[in-house]
Structure 1
Protein backbone atom coordinates (compact mmCIF):
# COMPACT_ATOMS: atom_id res chain seq x y z
CA UNK A 1 0.00 0.00 0.00
CA UNK A 2 1.43 3.35 -1.01
CA UNK A 3 0.01 5.84 1.48
CA UNK A 4 1.38 8.83 3.30
CA UNK A 5 2.06 8.69 7.03
CA UNK A 6 -0.88 11.04 7.61
CA UNK A 7 -3.29 8.80 5.69
CA UNK A 8 -1.96 5.71 7.47
CA UNK A 9 -2.53 7.26 10.89
CA UNK A 10 -6.06 8.31 9.92
CA UNK A 11 -6.77 4.77 8.69
CA UNK A 12 -5.42 3.23 11.90
CA UNK A 13 -7.46 5.63 14.02
CA UNK A 14 -10.59 4.63 12.10
CA UNK A 15 -9.82 0.92 12.56
CA UNK A 16 -9.26 1.59 16.27
CA UNK A 17 -12.75 2.95 16.78
CA UNK A 18 -14.66 0.37 14.74
CA UNK A 19 -13.62 -2.81 16.47
CA UNK A 20 -16.71 -4.83 17.22
CA UNK A 21 -16.96 -4.73 20.98
CA UNK A 22 -17.56 -1.36 22.58
CA UNK A 23 -14.90 -1.73 25.27
CA UNK A 24 -12.15 -2.18 22.70
CA UNK A 25 -13.59 0.65 20.59
CA UNK A 26 -13.24 2.99 23.56
CA UNK A 27 -9.84 1.79 24.71
CA UNK A 28 -8.17 1.69 21.29
CA UNK A 29 -9.78 4.87 19.99
CA UNK A 30 -8.48 6.81 22.98
CA UNK A 31 -5.05 5.16 22.84
CA UNK A 32 -4.72 5.82 19.11
CA UNK A 33 -5.70 9.45 19.55
CA UNK A 34 -3.02 9.92 22.19
CA UNK A 35 -0.14 7.91 20.75
CA UNK A 36 -0.19 7.21 16.99
CA UNK A 37 1.17 10.61 15.97
CA UNK A 38 4.35 10.01 18.00
CA UNK A 39 4.96 6.45 16.78
CA UNK A 40 7.65 5.62 14.24
CA UNK A 41 7.04 3.29 11.27
CA UNK A 42 7.99 0.12 13.19
CA UNK A 43 5.68 1.03 16.07
CA UNK A 44 2.85 1.72 13.61
CA UNK A 45 3.49 -1.70 12.03
CA UNK A 46 3.17 -3.34 15.44
CA UNK A 47 0.00 -1.39 16.24
CA UNK A 48 -1.46 -2.41 12.90
CA UNK A 49 -0.65 -6.06 13.67
CA UNK A 50 -2.44 -5.63 17.00
CA UNK A 51 -5.53 -4.36 15.15
CA UNK A 52 -5.63 -7.63 13.21
CA UNK A 53 -6.18 -9.57 16.44
CA UNK A 54 -9.57 -10.74 17.69
CA UNK A 55 -11.34 -8.29 20.04
CA UNK A 56 -12.06 -10.94 22.65
CA UNK A 57 -8.36 -11.82 22.81
CA UNK A 58 -7.32 -8.16 22.90
CA UNK A 59 -9.70 -7.43 25.75
CA UNK A 60 -8.39 -10.35 27.79
CA UNK A 61 -4.79 -9.27 27.17
CA UNK A 62 -5.40 -5.62 28.02
CA UNK A 63 -7.31 -6.49 31.19
CA UNK A 64 -4.72 -9.06 32.29
CA UNK A 65 -7.11 -12.00 32.08
CA UNK A 66 -4.75 -13.78 29.68
CA UNK A 67 -1.10 -13.29 28.74
CA UNK A 68 -0.45 -11.39 25.52
CA UNK A 69 1.75 -12.91 22.81
CA UNK A 70 5.39 -11.97 23.32
CA UNK A 71 5.54 -9.83 20.16
CA UNK A 72 2.59 -7.70 21.31
CA UNK A 73 3.21 -7.78 25.07
CA UNK A 74 5.02 -4.40 25.36
CA UNK A 75 2.33 -2.61 23.34
CA UNK A 76 -0.48 -4.35 25.24
CA UNK A 77 1.25 -3.38 28.50
CA UNK A 78 1.43 0.25 27.38
CA UNK A 79 -2.24 0.25 26.46
CA UNK A 80 -3.20 -1.41 29.76
CA UNK A 81 -1.01 0.94 31.81
CA UNK A 82 -2.40 3.99 30.04
CA UNK A 83 -5.95 3.07 30.99
CA UNK A 84 -5.28 0.99 34.11
CA UNK A 85 -8.05 -1.41 33.23
Structure 2
Protein backbone atom coordinates (compact mmCIF):
# COMPACT_ATOMS: atom_id res chain seq x y z
CA UNK A 1 0.00 0.00 0.00
CA UNK A 2 2.83 2.38 0.85
CA UNK A 3 4.48 1.65 -2.51
CA UNK A 4 1.29 2.57 -4.36
CA UNK A 5 1.02 5.80 -2.39
CA UNK A 6 4.64 6.71 -3.21
CA UNK A 7 4.10 5.90 -6.89
CA UNK A 8 0.96 8.05 -7.05
CA UNK A 9 2.74 10.92 -5.32
CA UNK A 10 5.61 10.69 -7.84
CA UNK A 11 3.19 10.66 -10.78
CA UNK A 12 1.40 13.70 -9.36
CA UNK A 13 4.73 15.51 -8.93
CA UNK A 14 5.83 14.68 -12.50
CA UNK A 15 2.54 15.81 -14.00
CA UNK A 16 2.63 19.10 -12.11
CA UNK A 17 6.27 19.69 -13.05
CA UNK A 18 5.53 18.99 -16.73
CA UNK A 19 2.57 21.35 -16.68
CA UNK A 20 4.69 24.18 -15.28
CA UNK A 21 7.57 23.48 -17.70
CA UNK A 22 5.15 23.51 -20.65
CA UNK A 23 4.20 27.11 -19.90
CA UNK A 24 7.72 28.44 -20.34
CA UNK A 25 8.26 30.44 -23.49
CA UNK A 26 10.95 29.20 -25.83
CA UNK A 27 12.43 30.45 -29.06
CA UNK A 28 11.50 27.25 -30.88
CA UNK A 29 8.46 25.06 -30.83
CA UNK A 30 8.86 22.06 -28.50
CA UNK A 31 9.62 18.75 -30.18
CA UNK A 32 6.42 17.09 -29.04
CA UNK A 33 4.47 19.52 -31.22
CA UNK A 34 5.58 18.05 -34.54
CA UNK A 35 2.67 15.61 -34.75
CA UNK A 36 0.19 18.42 -35.32
CA UNK A 37 2.09 19.36 -38.49
CA UNK A 38 1.03 16.14 -40.20
CA UNK A 39 -2.52 15.84 -38.99
CA UNK A 40 -3.74 19.41 -39.11
CA UNK A 41 -5.30 21.00 -42.15
CA UNK A 42 -3.42 24.23 -41.52
CA UNK A 43 0.19 23.81 -42.63
CA UNK A 44 1.34 26.73 -40.51
CA UNK A 45 1.37 25.53 -36.93
CA UNK A 46 -0.87 26.92 -34.27
CA UNK A 47 2.25 27.75 -32.25
CA UNK A 48 4.10 30.63 -33.89
CA UNK A 49 7.86 30.36 -34.17
CA UNK A 50 9.37 33.52 -32.73
CA UNK A 51 12.65 33.81 -34.57
CA UNK A 52 14.40 37.12 -34.06
CA UNK A 53 16.79 37.97 -36.90
CA UNK A 54 16.67 41.71 -36.26
CA UNK A 55 20.27 42.17 -35.12
CA UNK A 56 23.56 40.35 -35.54
CA UNK A 57 23.68 38.99 -31.98
CA UNK A 58 20.25 37.36 -32.17
CA UNK A 59 21.06 35.98 -35.65
CA UNK A 60 24.27 34.48 -34.32
CA UNK A 61 22.42 32.84 -31.42
CA UNK A 62 19.73 31.39 -33.70
CA UNK A 63 22.29 30.13 -36.23
CA UNK A 64 24.47 28.55 -33.55
CA UNK A 65 21.49 26.88 -31.89
CA UNK A 66 20.23 25.44 -35.17
CA UNK A 67 23.70 24.34 -36.22
CA UNK A 68 24.14 22.57 -32.89
CA UNK A 69 20.73 20.89 -33.18
CA UNK A 70 21.56 19.68 -36.68
CA UNK A 71 24.98 18.27 -35.74
CA UNK A 72 24.06 16.72 -32.37
CA UNK A 73 20.94 14.66 -33.04
CA UNK A 74 22.31 11.40 -31.68
CA UNK A 75 21.92 9.64 -35.04
CA UNK A 76 25.33 9.62 -36.72
CA UNK A 77 24.12 9.58 -40.32
CA UNK A 78 21.77 12.49 -39.71
CA UNK A 79 24.41 14.36 -37.72
CA UNK A 80 26.70 14.22 -40.74
CA UNK A 81 24.12 14.91 -43.46
CA UNK A 82 22.08 17.60 -41.71
CA UNK A 83 25.05 19.21 -40.00
CA UNK A 84 26.93 19.63 -43.27
CA UNK A 85 23.87 20.91 -45.14
CA UNK A 86 22.91 23.41 -42.43
CA UNK A 87 26.50 24.61 -42.15
CA UNK A 88 26.57 25.32 -45.90
CA UNK A 89 23.14 26.96 -46.20
CA UNK A 90 22.08 28.59 -42.93
CA UNK A 91 23.64 31.99 -43.59
CA UNK A 92 21.73 32.39 -46.86
CA UNK A 93 18.33 31.55 -45.34
CA UNK A 94 15.60 34.07 -44.64
CA UNK A 95 13.10 33.81 -41.79
CA UNK A 96 10.83 31.40 -43.68
CA UNK A 97 13.80 29.17 -44.46
CA UNK A 98 14.77 29.17 -40.79
CA UNK A 99 11.22 28.18 -39.83
CA UNK A 100 11.27 25.37 -42.39
CA UNK A 101 14.61 24.20 -40.96
CA UNK A 102 13.18 24.20 -37.43
CA UNK A 103 10.27 22.07 -38.64
CA UNK A 104 12.72 19.56 -40.16
CA UNK A 105 14.82 19.50 -36.99
CA UNK A 106 11.67 18.77 -34.96
CA UNK A 107 11.11 15.50 -36.83
CA UNK A 108 11.99 12.17 -35.23
CA UNK A 109 15.35 10.73 -36.30
CA UNK A 110 14.28 7.28 -37.62
CA UNK A 111 11.40 8.72 -39.64
CA UNK A 112 13.50 11.56 -41.02
CA UNK A 113 16.26 9.18 -42.11
CA UNK A 114 13.81 6.83 -43.85
CA UNK A 115 12.19 9.75 -45.65
CA UNK A 116 15.48 11.36 -46.69
CA UNK A 117 16.89 8.11 -48.08
CA UNK A 118 13.68 7.15 -49.89
CA UNK A 119 13.00 4.05 -47.78
CA UNK A 120 9.50 5.37 -47.01
CA UNK A 121 7.27 8.00 -48.55
CA UNK A 122 7.14 11.14 -46.36
CA UNK A 123 3.83 12.77 -45.44
CA UNK A 124 2.63 15.64 -47.62
CA UNK A 125 3.38 18.23 -44.93
CA UNK A 126 7.03 17.14 -44.93
CA UNK A 127 7.30 16.87 -48.71
CA UNK A 128 6.32 20.51 -49.25
CA UNK A 129 8.98 21.75 -46.81
CA UNK A 130 11.71 23.42 -48.95
CA UNK A 131 14.51 22.50 -46.53
CA UNK A 132 13.46 18.85 -46.45
CA UNK A 133 13.27 18.78 -50.26
CA UNK A 134 16.74 20.28 -50.64
CA UNK A 135 18.33 17.91 -48.12
CA UNK A 136 16.53 14.92 -49.66
CA UNK A 137 17.75 15.85 -53.15
CA UNK A 138 21.32 16.02 -51.87
CA UNK A 139 21.06 12.69 -50.04
CA UNK A 140 19.48 10.88 -52.99
CA UNK A 141 22.05 12.35 -55.40
CA UNK A 142 24.89 11.14 -53.16
CA UNK A 143 23.29 7.70 -52.84
CA UNK A 144 22.96 7.42 -56.62
CA UNK A 145 26.53 8.61 -57.24
CA UNK A 146 28.10 6.24 -54.72
CA UNK A 147 25.97 3.14 -55.16
CA UNK A 148 27.22 0.18 -57.14
CA UNK A 149 25.85 -0.14 -60.66
CA UNK A 150 23.02 -2.59 -61.17
CA UNK A 151 23.87 -5.70 -63.13
Q: TM-score range by the shorter chain?
A: 0.7 to 0.9
Identify which of 131, 142, 148 aligns with 1:75: 131
Q: Give structure 1 stretches of 5+ with no counterpart.
A: none
Q: Which deviates more, 9-18 or 62-71?
A: 62-71
The secondary structure found in structure 2 opposite 1:53 is: coil
Greater length-normalized contact order (CA 8 Å, ≥ 6 residues apart): 1
- RMSD over equivalenced CA pairs, Å: 1.6
Residue 25 of structure 1, CA deviation: 0.4
CA distance in 2, matches of 1:45, 1:71: 14
Moved over 6 A (4+): none
CA distance in 2, matches of 1:77, 1:68: 11
* TM-score, normalised with respect to structure 1: 0.87
In the alignment, structure 1 residue 26 sits paired with structure 2 residue 80: yes
User: CA contact under 8 A between 1:68 and 1:76: conserved in structure 2?
Assistant: no
Residue 72 of structure 1, CA deviation: 2.5
- Aligned residue pair count: 85
* TM-score, normalised with respect to structure 2: 0.52
Q: Output aligned runs, 1:3-82, within 5 Å.
A: 4-73=58-127, 74-82=130-138
